[in-house]
Amino acid sequence: MEKALPLIPAKRYFTIGEVGDLCGVKPHVLRYWEQEFTQLRPMKRRGNRRYYQHHEVLMIRRIRDLLYDQGFTISGARNKMQELLQAERDKKRSGEVALDGVEVIEVANSDVDTLEDDVPEASTTGIADRLFFLRRELFEIRDLLSLAH
């Protein structure tokens, strides 16, 4: 019987080692998938360290499911991911909310206070980059809030 994957903690950023543990794959596999799946673009900081966000962990779990559980080839999984992402974009454009792959996470008040501690050092990032990531996070929050209604 297949081992269940652990719950994704309420953190803003995850290291490649943490993502490997959360998704049941080794870091070198994640780096390879990054080359094969253009949708997978973790943030990189000093020394090319990768930092993944919650939606990227969900994407990796989806890729893992396609490859390991459903038996897709890399090419087939890439095509399937393109189809899934296009379907989600179409739903957003038409005002629908996509529920597939969304997990509800319980967050304790003490965890909310520590979220800021998880932000990677941003000293080398320009204002435009910070605004881009802030905008992306705000859209994610909006999408999550729309699910609650």
111 Cβ contact list (under 8 Å, min separation 6): 10
pTM: 0.62
- Condensed to tens digits (0 to 9), the pLDDT of residues 15-54 reads 999 999 999 999 999 999 999 999 999 999 988 899 999 9
Spell out the domains of the chain, with CATH numbers in brackets.
14-148 (1.10.1660.10)
**Paired strand residues for 15:** 51
Q: Are 14 and 52 in contact (CB under 8 A)?
A: yes
Give, for 46, the enclosing helix (H) or strand (E). none
In whole angstroms, what is the distance from residue 107 CA to residue 113 CA?
10
**Encoding tokens for residue 87?**
């379907």
Q: What is the CA radius of gyration of the chain?
A: 16
